[in-house]
Every structure is written in structure tokens, then in C-alpha cells.
Structure 1
Amino acid sequence: MDGAVYRFGQYALDADRRRLSCDGLRVDAEPRALELLCLLVEHRDRVVSEDELCDRIGRGGAVSRTALAAWVRTARLAIGDSDSGQQLIRTVSPHGYRFVAGATVASGGGPAPGADHEVIRFCRSADGTRIAYALTGEGPPLVKTANWLTHLDLDRTIPMWAHWFDGLTRGRQLLRYDERGCGLSEWTVPSFTLDDLVDDLDTVVNAAGLDRFPLLGVSQGGAVAVAYAVRHPERVSRLVLTSAYARGQQIRAVSDDERDAAEVDLNIARAGWRSQDSSFLRYFASQFLADATPAEWDAFAAYQRQTTSPANGLRFLEEFTRIDVSGIADQVACPTLIVHSRDDARVPVAQALELATLIPDSRLVLLEGRNHLFTATDPAWPTFLSHLHTFLSE
């Protein structure tokens, strides 16, 4: 261990002293469990095998798998995790564990492998709205547009997003921000139009002092990225669109059946946000994480409740169904990579085909899977990262 103090959520883990605290109060745990936790956090960039854990903790002596399982369970309980939830420490088949939450190095002898320093800053958009943004990692820049929904202070500690930051900051400095109306950005705002979202992105890159950069758009953030690339061709060197669409569900509906489906989908989402009923919210979450478990859908719903208000959630939904950049996408002047799951349960693959048809210098990569947002265990995730890094390095 290098003496670093790792922070994740409300927890701080002093790796040198083997000391864990929550909101400044010490958490007592069995020493072997704390040692195991330190090993997993320090090596969170990979799966740590049971054999390696037994060897390191047992210092060459015999350690039973039963004892190891007990230490894992104790470590999970100490940080508010569980064997069934596995929100922070995940069991990875066939025989290993990985710490999947994001962590930052707060102090000590420097960052551990895969760790990076992050500072959250604020700026004001054209209409005075406060926007929160953060720079993570080192190297040439990569800007990620905001998407449904984010929270800068939480995203690196939850399994749904933590792996994105580990992957996107490999050899690069990632600039991300919270959309107006959610996260640490201002919640009481006059409007959520596409122009507002593009202005917010421009404000953030100006505040960060970036002149020219590759731009990544995920989900509805893809439309924001397209509109920005058209408005500021001199600033966007490359464009990456993932699970993106040119036209929102109501705009792209051309038949009565499609219009009815779009209205039903919106009404279900409205009902979920208004009532906070778990059945509605699970259905909504299942569109984003089709291959997840009910427990993971519930975690996604709980995360959404932390990121914005029900009123803003409804405003987002209604605006996003009306997004349309199909009329300007042919004006994108930079090389573009479009990545999409073949069976995306939220945005049909036809939208990826439309973007690839409209954007002149584009290439399309279709990946096997149903998830709208790639999870850490999704087979499509490492393939996506490989295509991304190859494209950005060209």
C-alpha cells in the first residue's frame, strides 16, 4: 500500500493505517476484512482472483474459501454493500472480486493505479443557469455531453457509471458536466430546449479552456453533440455517438401505431415519475438496462430520484421525445463513429442507421446486446472501448 486515502461516496479508506470512516466517523471492521477492502480498492482497475487475495491476506499461509467469503461479506457490510446487492464489491465469475465503485485519492503518497484527481467546478450558462462540471484524468481532452441523468458527486461511486470513467480516462482527460435541472447543476431553470443544452456545453468547454477536442454523446446527449459539432465545426475534431438518435420518439413516429406507442411510453414514464411507483420505474429502468436484474432496476430508479426532481424528470422526458437534429446532421464536418446495440431496448437500431446515413464522414459499429447503457459486465463494453480508443488515436 502507498499511504493513499481513497474516497468513495461518504466513505474514506486510509490504506496505510487500515482505517475506514463514514462521514468522518470511524467504522470498526475485522482487520482481515479491511485488508481485503484495501486490496480491492487499490486494484479496482481489474478483477482480483480468490487465489491472489488468499495469498496476500494469508501471507503464504493456508486460507479457506469459507474464511475469504466471510471477509468479503464483512467488507461489504462495512461500506453499506451486501452479497445480494453487490453495488460496490462485485463477485466476478469464475473466481474473483472487483471493486466497481469510482474512488478518488484524497491524500497520501499519490494516486494508485487507475486513480485520478477530480475537482468539481461551476460556471454560468448564457441565461445565467449554474452548470457543474469536472475534469478527470490526464492527457489529451475528451468531452462527454451530459445525458439522462447524471450527478457528478455520485456517478463515480455507482456501478451504472463508475466503469465509464475508468474507461474514458485511460490516457485522456475527461470533461463531463451535469445537465441543467439535475445533479449539482441548477434545478430551477426556465427551459430545457436543445439550444439551451448546446449553450450549456459551450459554456462548459469555454470554462475549461478547451479550444479543439473530440466529443462523445451518449443517448440524447448524441443529439446535443451533433448540434454542437454543426454550430462549432472548428472546435470538434472527432465525434462519437453511442446509443444516440437524431429524432425523439414522438418526432420519428410516422404511423398511428408508432404514435400510440410513443404516447403510451411517455405516459408510463410520467406515471412513474409522478407517483414514484416501483412498477412504473422498473419498466422505465428496464429500457435502459434490459439485461439487468430487478434489484439493479430498483437501484437505477433510486439513482434517478437522487439526480433530479419529479417535475424536472417530466420536463426532460417531454423535451427529449421532441428532439430533432435530422435536418442538420448532414452538416457535421468531422469524422464520426456511431456505436449502437443491435437490440437496444430504448432507442431502436434504426436511429443509428439514420445517423450513419445523414452524417457524411461516419462509420457505424453495431454491437450484440440489448442494453441502452453499457454495463461493466456487458460483453459490448470492452468492444466499445476498443473502437473508441482506436478511433480517437487515428
Structure 2
Amino acid sequence: MSGAVYRFGQYALDADSRRLSHGGHPVDVDSRALDLLCHLIECRDRVVSEEELLDRMGQGRETSQAAFADWLRTARLVIGDNDGRQQLIRTVPPHGYRFVARTTEVLDTPPAAPGCPPATEADHEVIRFCRSADGTRIAYALTGEGPPLVKTANWLTHLDLDRTTPMWAHWFDGLTRGRQLIRYDERGCGLSEWALRSFTLDDLVADLDSVADAAGLDRFPLLGVSQGAAVAVAYAARHPERVSRLVLTSAYARGQLARAAGEDEQDAAEVDLSVARAGWRSQDSSFLRYFASQFLADATPAEWDAFAAYQRQTTSPANGLRFLEEFTRIDVSGIAHRVTCPTLIVHARDDARVPVAQALELASLIPDSRLILLESRNHLFTADDPAWPTFLTHLDAFLAEG
């Protein structure tokens, strides 16, 4: 139906202009995936066969199964669905699909309700997609307005969910004040492609480079959080001409297994990894709470459960295990000395996940760096953590110097 706008949840799809939005903000998506999504929504009263979709997508040309699978997965991911979840686009055996979300069809997008507050800088967000060097699809978002700040991907994110989850929402309010935040989902999670071709440090650095290119950035400040800090260090070391300033928080140069100095530390690292593996495989709350408590030491059990539930939405168990194992072995200690830009390192003095010794190591390795230790036990600063506003103050002041 020409001019129809289909609304489901926080999404709206304009069938005439082929535009998808979430919460009023445009979502950039591959045109073929959008065509597939639109056809499924228009035919939501029935199961649509794979043959019909292939014919629709091919428009008279032969379409490969691989291309179709990629478009279907993209269509699912951009609306917060995935192959396992299937709460919106359901696979109906043997070879059919149906759009099952409650949908409202309207003729036009209604104006904003009277009395709505004006949009904030963080409300200006566009989600887009680019391809990394090996062809992996990477989702990235531009949030806010002003000078750019690029944040590397870290464990674990979902561009469409992060702004409303308590763990990350305050980060966007703080990081988008007077600037534009560029962030992206790591390969294998969130809205990025889940089928991992490869997952090495080189791949993660290439993903960041592709996002910077796609966003049209030449030289920019870079923020790395947790494992994302190691990627930021590697990128700054390899691309000194592009990184103007580097901010590292909750950072480490070497993963837990990479830095294990003796049998005791090796055993502790293996036990920690085994507990995390057990949690991801069994989804047992006791294991998952233990894992969450390392990231949010001062949170309540209910908040740990919410953290665990959020993680399950961001990636598959198989990918989650792959991330865990790779991150314990990551090591940028051999190249950190090649970082030439001014660097700010902020760390919680009693970080329960990454010991403060790792921050000290980074500060000793990066030539033009300064270290600030904050009174906190949280690996990821929470909204009510007294260290959070202090971190923002130091971040703002450091970036203003540039």
C-alpha cells in the first residue's frame, strides 16, 4: 500500500519511501534487506515462502542462498531480532517466514505530541553499516552533534539497546555533551554480523578503521573502555596520523592469561575462564552473577541479573565464549610504546575485574601519558558511582586541551 507506515514496537517502516526508523531516528540498512523486511510486513497475514522471497529479491535474476541468508539476518538484526530469538521474523518450517510482531498500519507519521520536551544532543542518532577489510558487516552509530569522539567496541554491546540499558545509558548522556559520539558493535555481536570469519586483534583494528573511514573522519580522539582499550592502543600505535588524543579507562595491555606470571595466576585465570564458560553454556544464574559482579562490583543481585540478561541479547553463546577466550590472550604491551599522542588513563583503584597494576603498566609503556586513579570498585562506572562524574570531568578537560 503506497504511503503506508507500519509501526511495531519503537520501529516505523515507511513502505513508500523505504525508510526504517527507531524511536523517530533513521536506521541505515542495506536496501535488499529492507525490501525483504517490507515484503514480510506487507504479507504478515501469511507465511511467505523462501521461493517467493528469492524471486522478490532477485527481481528476475538468480539470487544465491548465501546472499539471501545475509539479507534475512540483516533484516532481523536491524529490528533487534536474530536467528535464535525470532520474536519478530519467525522461521516456519520447512521453508517459509512470517512477520509476527504486532503491527499498526497508518497513512502517515503523526506529529510529535504537544508538550514533548525538545530533543537532546543524544537524541540525534543514525545507525549505519559498513564493511571491514575482510567483508564483515559492522554496525556503527553517530550520536549527538559537535566535534567527534570515537569509542572502540568492547564487551558486549548492542547499538539499538545500549541507550536504554542502565549499564550504558549514562555513558551516552555524558559522552555526547557538546560532541558527536561514534560507536560501533564488535563483529559477532549487536547489530554487526554474527558469523565470525575471523576474530583476531588485527580484525578488531581493521573494524575500527573501517568505521572511521565510513564516518568520514580524518583525525580524531579515541576512547577505549575495558578490552576496547587494547584495540584503541593497537590502533593508535599503527595509525598515529589519525589519533589526536587517546583516553583509556578500565584498561589493560595484557589479558588475564597473557599476564599470568606463575602457576597461581595461571590457575586463577583458568578458573575464572571456566566459570565464565559454564555461565554462558548453562545460563545458570549463579555463574552469571559471579561474572557480572566482576564488572559491577557494587551492584545488587537484581542488577547483576539484568546485566546477564542484557548480555544474552547481544550475542550467541558460541560467540560469547569465543570473545572470552580471545580477550584473555590479547596483548598490546609490545606495541604500546609506539603510541605518540597525548594519552589519559583512568582506572578504578579497586577494579574487581582488571587490577590497577594494568593501568600502571600502560602508563609506563605509553610515553606521553598521564594516570588518574579513582576511588571505585566498579570495572564499568555506574550512573550513581561517585567516580562517574569525576571521570567525565577529567575526560572533558583532557579533550578540551586538544
Indicate whether the TM-score tops 0.5: yes
1:287 pairs with one of 272, 289, 294: 294
Q: Distance in 2 between matches of 1:336 and 1:209?
A: 23
1:369 pairs with one of 357, 371, 376: 376
- Please, which runs of 5 or more residues in structure 2 have no aligned partner? 1-6, 13-21, 25-109
1:141 corresponding residue in structure 2 = 148
Q: Distance in 2 between matches of 1:11 and 1:228?
A: 35
2:214 corresponding residue in structure 1 = 207
How big is the shift at 1:119?
A: 1.0
2:251 pairs with one of 221, 244, 250: 244
Q: Distance in 1 between matches of 2:247 and 2:23?
A: 38
1:327 pairs with one of 313, 330, 334: 334
2:354 pairs with one of 340, 347, 369: 347
1:128 corresponding residue in structure 2 = 135
3-state SS in 2 of match to 1:186: coil
2:322 corresponding residue in structure 1 = 315
1:358 pairs with one of 335, 345, 365: 365
2:195 corresponding residue in structure 1 = 188
How big is the shift at 1:11?
A: 9.0
TM-score calculated relative to the size of structure 1: 0.73
CA RMSD of aligned residues (A): 2.1
1:167 pairs with one of 171, 174, 178: 174
3-state SS in 1 of match to 2:149: strand
How big is the shift at 1:117?
A: 1.2
3-state SS in 1 of match to 2:345: strand
2:48 corresponding residue in structure 1 = none
How big is the shift at 1:261?
A: 0.1
CA distance change for structure 1 residues 125 and 115 in 2, over 3 Å: closer, same or farther?
A: closer
Identity %: 87
1:228 corresponding residue in structure 2 = 235
Q: Distance in 1 between matches of 2:23 and 2:328?
A: 40
Conserved in 1, the CA contact under 8 Å of 2:121 and 2:144?
no
1:263 corresponding residue in structure 2 = 270
Q: Distance in 1 between matches of 2:285 and 2:10?
A: 26
- Please, which runs of 5 or more residues in structure 1 have no aligned partner? 1-6, 13-21, 25-105
CA distance change for structure 1 residues 336 and 126 in 2, over 3 Å: closer, same or farther?
A: same
How big is the shift at 1:113?
A: 4.2
Residues 1:381 and 2:388 aligned together: yes
Q: Distance in 2 between matches of 1:205 and 1:115?
A: 20
How big is the shift at 1:111?
A: 3.6
Q: Could you tell me which amino acid in structure 2 is paired with residue 258 of structure 1? A: E
Q: Could you tell me which amino acid in structure 1 is paired with residue 209 of structure 2? A: D
CA displacement 1:194-224 (0-9 Å, x = unmatched): 1100000000000000000000000000000
CA displacement 1:102-127 (0-9 Å, x = unmatched): xxxx9648843454211100001111
Q: Distance in 2 between matches of 1:386 and 1:379?
A: 12
Q: Distance in 2 between matches of 1:363 and 1:149?
A: 27
2:343 pairs with one of 328, 332, 336: 336
Structure 1 runs (4+) deviating above 6 angstroms are: none
Conserved in 1, the CA contact under 8 Å of 2:121 and 2:143?
no
Number of residues of Structure 1 aligned to a counterpart in Structure 2:
297
